[in-house]
Amino acid sequence: MTERYIIGVDGGSQSTKVVIYDLKGNPVSRGVQPLKPVDTPEPGQVEHPGDDLWDSLAAASKKAMDQFSGDREAIVGVGLCTIRFVRCLLKADGCLASPAQSWMDERVSKPYEQEDSEVSYVTTSSGYLTHRLTGEKKDSAGNYQGQWPIDTDTWGWSEEDSLYEQYNLSKDMLFDLYPPGTILGHITEEASLATGIPKGLPVVATANDKAVEALGAGIRTQETALISLGTYIAGMVHGGRQNVKEAENYWTNFSAVPQEYLYESGGIRRGMWTVSWFKELLGEDLVKKAEATGVSPEDYLNAEADSRVPPGSDGLLTVLDWLAPAGQPYKKGMMIGFDVRHTGAHMYRSILEGIALTMKAHMDAMYAEMGERLERIILTGGGSNGDLMMQIFADVFGVPADRNVINGSASLGSAINTSVALGIYENYDQAITEMVKVKDSFSPNMDTHDFYTRFNEEVYQQITAHTDPVLKQAHAFFNR
């Protein structure tokens, strides 16, 4: 049989990645286009400049297609995954009326407000990009949570008129909803010219980016959890068909599998962004030291922090509030506990430990409420590339930490959605078996796990109870 291929799109917070996979989940070509730095026209507003979401998709797609050496007629479909919680305001012709509002924008956490008479449609990033690719006003129901009049039981628009009034939306302003794994339309000639993707290919609905990432990681049971190490770090577990609405320590998200749900713990805003920030802070000094040893800056930091810094970073503690929650604007990122022993490697390891310890507390709370037992974690995203991060997570959680062959798994999840939509595989379990592969596994050191457990409970989780009052006073002082 002639080899066939699927295009998987992963529109993330920092870049758009387009990967062409064979039917066994092996990448054969890829294109990556960084997003432009976000604009902040006013306090609380965070926008993607210009038409950056579309421009980055077009550029990444062209790169992937240019590198593809196979038969273009053997490409059978496109799975589209984009950033969640992005609000796009469109004119009647489907063009942006204003720049797309980022998930970090305070406006997306509130009902839509009609401030521009040219706005005819209000949609998500996936709705907007689906329209640009196909000309259709259709979207995946799996990318609608937050300020939308959606019925999370039926995955359709609500029949309660009061909700439309609450969200300041009318039904004719909204795109039609379809479940993940549905063909939403086909690549138009205009989109083909812009992206290089062959005209006429079906474009398949996926879900929100975290749910698609979970699908691409192969998360299908509650004993295994996913830790997504991205700009926003999230912990997720398969929820089956139970749409839990009143949990205290997790929230229910649409899965990338129709009529199934994903449970998501508390997370870390600007999580791996903080790691990037720290590396940039070290600047030329880090680059020179890395070059002198013949390794990358990331490998140099990992080696230094692994070989020279003990668990606990000699008492240096990092609190990862580099982006404050909307309801707690006084929150700030902190490093406390410095003394003369501490080096850049200590600071780096302290950030990694802060990420793992924070997520352990979130996941413990979620699993306790679920009444389930965690037996294994899978780490995805750029942060999982480092062995030190993998080992820290294994030691903090006390369970094996796996890393898959495809660890930026949202593009693979998009391809899996497409494979089922096109009937290549009968169901999602079969597709996962064929397309998802474990690369390596890190076993916990139980002595280190015992240390981290006591340290997390007795020290790390107590920090903000003491520092929040001071930060509140400082916030009031500088924001009068």
pLDDT, one tens digit per residue, over 272-285 is 999 989 988 888 88
pLDDT of res. 91: 97
Rounded-to-integer distance, Cα 436 and Cα 405, Å = 8
Lookup result for tokens 């509002």: 101
Query: Which residue from 178, 239, 108 is spatially nearest to 421, judged by alpha carbons?
Result: 178
pLDDT tens sequence across 69-128? 999 999 999 999 999 999 999 999 999 999 999 998 999 999 999 999 999 999 999 999
For residue 82, is it left (φ>0), alpha (ψ between -120 and 50) or beta?
beta
CA gap 393, 378 in Å, rounded: 10
Q: State both tokens at 396.
A: 């903090």
Copy the structure tokens of residue 20: 């062409």
CB proximity list for 33: less than 8 A, separation 6 or greater: 15, 16, 55, 56, 57, 59, 60, 63
How many CB atoms within 10 Å of residue 152? 17
Question: What are the C-alpha distances in Å from 258 to residues 77, 175, 217, 265?
Answer: 19, 18, 17, 21
Distance from C-alpha of 206 to C-alpha of 79, rounded to nearest angstrom: 7
Could you give the CA distance from residue 98 to residue 191 in angstroms, rounded to a whole number? 21
Specify whether the CB–CB gap between 432 and 394 falls below 8 A.
no
* Contacts of residue 458, Cβ cutoff 8 Å, sequence gap at least 6: none
Full pLDDT tens readout for the chain, 480 residues: 479 999 999 998 889 999 999 999 999 999 999 999 999 999 889 999 999 999 999 999 999 999 999 999 999 999 999 999 999 999 999 999 999 999 989 999 999 999 999 999 999 999 999 999 999 999 999 999 889 999 999 999 999 999 999 999 999 999 999 999 999 999 999 999 999 999 999 999 999 999 999 999 999 999 999 999 988 899 999 999 999 999 999 999 999 999 999 999 999 998 999 998 998 888 888 888 888 999 988 899 999 999 999 999 999 999 999 988 878 999 999 999 999 999 999 999 999 999 999 999 999 999 999 999 999 999 998 889 999 999 999 999 999 999 999 988 999 999 999 999 999 999 999 999 999 999 999 999 999 999 999 999 999 999 999 999 999 999 888 876
Rounded Cα–Cα distance for residues 19 and 197 (Å): 12
Q: DSSP assignment, residue 349?
A: H
Nearest to 395 by CA among 316, 311, 318: 311
Contact 56, 33 (CB under 8 A): yes
- Would you say 359 and 337 are in contact if contact means Cβ atoms under 8 Å apart? no
Helices (H), 68-208: 125-134, 161-166, 189-195
Annotate 391-454 with three-state secondary structure: HHHHHHHCCCEEEECCCCCHHHHHHHHHHHHCCCCCCHHHHHHHHCCEEEEECCCHHHHHHHHH
Q: Which of 439, 423, 441 is nearest to 431 (CA)?
A: 423
DSSP helix/strand/coil, 186: strand
- Please measure the distance between the N-terminal and C-terminal CA atoms of the chain and give it in whole angstroms: 70
Residue 71: the pLDDT is 95
Reduced DSSP (H G I as helix, E B as strand, rest coil) percent helix, strand, coil of the chain, to 5: 40, 20, 40
What pLDDT, on a 0 to 100 scale, did the predictor assign at position 229? 93
Closest to 173 in 3D by CA, of 207, 206, 137, 126: 137
The pLDDT, as a whole number, for residue 202 is 98
Sign of dihedral through CA atoms 383, 385, 388, 390?
Answer: positive
Token couple for 286: 């880090």
Q: How far apart are CA 107 and CA 324, in angstroms?
A: 15
Please state the pTM of the whole predicted model. Answer: 0.90
Give pLDDT tens digits for 22-64.
999 999 999 999 999 999 999 889 999 999 999 999 999 999 9
Contact 269, 232 (CB under 8 A): yes
